[in-house]
Amino acid sequence: MLVTPSSDCIDTGETRLLAAQVKGVEPPIELDWELESGGGSLSGDREGNDPSLRNNTYRAGGDATVARIRVTHDPGAGDPVSETVVIYVGECSPQHACTPEAMVDAVNPRYLHDAVGNLNLKAFAGGANKSLLPGRASLNITGPVSGGGDACARHLASVPVDGGSALADMSPAMAEQIEALTGGKLSTKGPPGNVVFQIFTPNIRLWEQGDATGEWYETRHGGIGGWPANAVALINIELVDTAPADLKAGGTYPARVHSEYSTGGAHTGQLLSLWEGTIERYRYLVPKPERVAECRRDKKAELEWLRKNALVSLDATIGREIREKDCQTRGPYLLGSRQRVWQPDLTGEVTITKITNSRVMGEFSLQGRAQTIQREFRHCRARANYGVTGQAGCHFDNSGPTNGTRETRPRAKPRESQVAVSGSFEAPNFRNSGYVIPGRLHAERVRPE
């Protein structure tokens, strides 16, 4: 018997649909649903959209609590089979900078293709996204390039170590589903995983994809939670040789920056990026008819693809941006400046201050080296200036390009710099199966003492 969800988090007064699947039993299937603790109510057993499925709906009460629902199937011949669903009530919806509205406001829809519809806030209503929203955090980065403010904390997670694979880290529920489809037997016991806390600036793309490797122009905001305008930051903090079961309130653990690109702890990836100025597009001096025609065909095809494949209507967001695209231009490019911090090699400590039924709270401080760069982008007006003393072959001003070129002045080079990060987090703590970042970070749960 497979019961989904095995655990979840909902707000007071909300409902959650429960489904139980029993294979190899002739209908009608009879199940016993018992609300063991936590209050609230069950609507009653009913048939699902498949003969092997039975459904029920749990409605939470008005108080924060932990509800436990036992589902039992008695086959008549043999021992009864039971599964327990755990529903954490309250403390699910963020009351801080990581609301869906704030995360959507931080991105630039024109350059952020979003087929799953998270740029449309209705996509969050009553769905799985809502119960997976991040918790409150703070993050401060100091060095040649600095920034800090309110941040988001992803659900408590672990990463496989010593070459652990995604298959080895698969949740029992997912393994059972695959076994039912294939008729084979999977082993889900893998190597132990170190705890990972992911902290990031409010940004829907970071929340969806779990990394900060996107293009700079995908982020655009006037400053969120104390961060500079257009800043985006993300850090994966791995506790060295520390499994979820090792976490205790009051404990301090050695930590390092974990890379989203490897399970071996390599120190790569972007830590912080920010830009200021304007996003421009190169305008063709002599637009070629075939290029314009191709652009218009592409626009039509993109709109048709969105209409057929998007899970929710995106006509008011990315659809509008596609329709407004100017086929006489190409780009985008930056007229202004950009600063970056990447390839952090940081170590330090994490202290767990409190563990509750729905949150793991703590503080962190790490220091080390990282690559930094600060660059300025200006228009290059004319190639006729080649060889002119002090012009580097290009006259820099901001009156606009005449030949579709752009250069950097001064020509800055990356340098290794001392960087420190610190902050606090309240990581959600209510799931112990599935992934919080598909294929990379596995959801974990620890119980309070």
If asked whether residues 211 and 122 sit together in one domain, one would say yes
Examine the domain organization and report whether 54 and 145 are in the same domain.
no
Domain termination site, one of 89, 121, 136:
89
On the question of pLDDT at 363 being above 50, the answer is yes
| pLDDT greater than 80 at residue 40 | yes
Pair (267, 375) in one structural domain: yes
- Is residue 338 classed exposed, middle or buried when 0-12, 13-18 and 19+ CB atoms within 10 A define those classes? buried
Report residue 5's pLDDT band, with 50, 70 and 90 as the boundaries. confident
Instruction: Map tokens 């400046």 to a residue.
Output: 337
239: closest CA among 360, 372, 420, 369? Answer: 360
Which pair of structure tokens corresponds to residue 101? 């509205």
Which position has the higher pLDDT, 446 or 53? 446
Which of 89, 124, 142 is where one domain is finished? Answer: 89
The DSSP annotation for 114-136 comes to: -TT-TTSGGGGTTSHHHHT--EE
Residue 178, classified by CB atoms within 10 Å of its CB into exposed (0-12), middle (13-18) or buried (19+), is middle
* Statement: residue 292 has pLDDT above 90: no
Q: Is residue 432 part of a domain?
A: yes
Tokens of 435: 């992934």
Give yes or no: residues 57 and 199 share one domain: no
Q: Cα angle vertex 158, ends 157, 159, to 5°?
A: 135
Given a cut of 60, is residue 357 above it in pLDDT? yes
| Residue in 76, 78, 71 with CA at minimum distance from that of residue 26 | 76
Confidence of residue 272 (pLDDT cuts 50, 70, 90): very high
Q: What percent of the chain has pLDDT over 70?
A: 70
Q: Are residues 139 and 63 part of one domain? A: no
With cut-offs at 50, 70 and 90, classify the pLDDT of residue 193: confident
How many angstroms separate the CA atoms of 335 and 381, rounded? 13
Which pLDDT belongs to residue 95?
Answer: 57
Q: What is the mean pLDDT of residues 58-62?
A: 91
- Angstrom distances, CA of residue 47 to CA of 64, 258, 399, 417: 30, 46, 69, 62
**What DSSP assignment string belongs to 364-424?**
EEEEEEEEEEEEEEEEE--GGGTT-TTTTTS-EESS--SSS-EEESS----EEEEEEEEEE
User: Domain containing 6: what range?
Assistant: 2-89
Higher-confidence position of 294 and 118? 294
75 and 207 housed in the same domain: no
Largest CA distance in the chain: 94
Q: Are residues 131 and 23 in the same domain?
A: no
70 plus 123 within the same structural domain: no
CATH value at residue 82 = 2.60.40.10
pLDDT for residue 385 is more than 50: no
pTM to 2 decimals? 0.68
Residue 234 has pLDDT above 90, yes or no: yes
pLDDT, tens digit, for every residue of 90-115?
766 555 678 777 888 888 876 766 54
- Looking at residue 328, its pLDDT comes to 77
d(CA 139, CA 231) in angstroms, rounded, equals: 12
Give yes or no for residue 339 having a pLDDT over 60: yes
* Residue 387 Cα distances to 62, 391, 392, 393, angstroms: 75, 8, 7, 5
> Are residues 252 and 110 part of one domain?
yes
From 33, 62, 89, the end of a domain falls on 89
Q: Is residue 318 part of a domain?
A: no
- Cα separations in angstroms, 274 against 247, 268, 335: 34, 18, 13
* Closest of 381, 276, 393, 391 to residue 335, by C-alpha: 276
Domain assignment present for 409:
no
Asked, for residue 119, whether it belongs to a domain, the answer is yes
Task: Compute the mean pLDDT over every residue in the chain, rounded to the nearest whole number.
Answer: 76
317/338: higher pLDDT: 338
Q: How far apart are CA 304 and CA 432, in angstroms?
A: 39
Using pLDDT thresholds of 50, 70 and 90, give the confidence band for residue 447.
confident
Which strand (E) or helix (H) includes residue 153?
strand 147-153
Burial class (CB in 10 A: 0-12, 13-18, 19+), 330: middle
Q: Does 284 have pLDDT greater than 70?
A: no
23 in the same domain as 151: no
369: its two tokens? 């080296």
| pLDDT per residue as tens digits for the range 386-409 | 333 334 444 444 444 444 444 444
Q: Is residue 79 part of a domain?
A: yes
Strand-pair partners of 380: 396
Q: How far apart are CA 263 and CA 358, in angstroms?
A: 27
**pLDDT at 180 (0 to 100):** 63
Contact partners, residue 126, CB within 8 Å, separation at least 6: 14
Assess whether 78 and 123 both reside in one domain: no
Question: How far apart are alpha carbons 204 and 367 in whole angstroms?
Answer: 27
| pLDDT at residue 249, rounded to an integer | 94
Q: In the predicted model, is pLDDT for residue 46 greater than 80?
A: yes
Of the CA atoms within 13 Å of residue 319, those in its CB half-sphere come to: 15
What is the model's pLDDT at position 196?
A: 93
Q: Could you tell me if 20 and 31 are in contact, meaning their C-beta atoms sit under 8 angstroms apart?
A: yes
* CB burial of residue 176 (10 Å; 0-12, 13-18, 19+): middle
Q: Considering the domain boundaries, does residue 327 fall inside one? A: no
Contact yes or no for 397/378 (Cβ under 8 A) = yes
Q: What is the pLDDT of residue 33?
A: 93
Confidence of residue 314 (pLDDT cuts 50, 70, 90): low
Quick one: pLDDT at residue 383? 44
Same domain, 65 and 159: no
Q: Could you tell me what percent of the chain has a pLDDT over 90?
A: 23
Domain-located, residue 297: no
What is the structure's pLDDT at 172?
A: 57
Q: Chain centroid to CA 135: how far?
A: 12
What local confidence, expressed as pLDDT, does residue 170 receive? 52
Report the pLDDT value the prediction gives residue 133, as an integer from 0 to 100.
80
Q: pLDDT tens, 146-176?
A: 999 889 999 999 986 544 444 444 555 555 6
Give the total number of structural domains in the chain: 2
Gap between the Cα atoms of 231 and 203, Å rounded: 10
Helix (H) or strand (E) holding 321: helix 318-323
H/E stretch holding 20 reads strand 15-21
Residue 364 domain-assigned? Answer: yes
End-to-end CA distance of the chain: 31
Residue 261 pLDDT more than 70? no
Question: What is the structure's pLDDT at 399?
Answer: 45
